[in-house]
């Protein structure tokens, strides 16, 4: 993503679960696309992205967080 995209700043951690590049840097974008689509690095970043997104969704939806806490406690099935 570029640093000019809204929620991406919260969700993309450069080098961890994706890449953040300057919006006018085509060479950096090309390199970043190669990195996130090739081999084990892509799998690692994808797994981390799923984790970050799940965490973000839970924070964004307090009812889901409460529901999960109740489920874990055994209060609801």
Q: Where are the domains of the chain?
A: 8-73
The pLDDT value given to residue 6: 66
Q: What is the pLDDT of residue 29?
A: 93
Residue 66 has pLDDT above 70, yes or no: yes
Nearest one of 24, 21, 27, 46 to 36, comparing CA atoms: 46
> In the structure encoding, which two tokens stand for residue 41, read together?
């690095």
Which two three-digit tokens encode residue 73?
């406690």
Phi first, then psi: give them for residue 75, nearest 5 degrees. Answer: -70, -30
Render pLDDT for 43-65 as a digit per residue (tens, 0 to 9): 899 899 899 888 887 777 778 77
User: pLDDT tens digit string along 3-45?
Assistant: 656 667 778 888 899 888 988 999 999 999 988 888 788 889 9
């Amino acid at each position: 993503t570029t640093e000019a995209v809204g929620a991406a700043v919260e969700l993309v951690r450069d080098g961890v679960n994706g890449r953040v590049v300057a919006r006018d840097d085509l060479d950096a974008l090309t390199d970043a696309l190669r990195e996130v689509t090739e081999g084990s690095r892509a799998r690692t970043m994808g797994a981390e992205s799923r984790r970050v997104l799940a965490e973000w969704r839970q924070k964004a939806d307090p009812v889901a967080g409460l529901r999960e806490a109740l489920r874990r406690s055994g209060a609801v099935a």
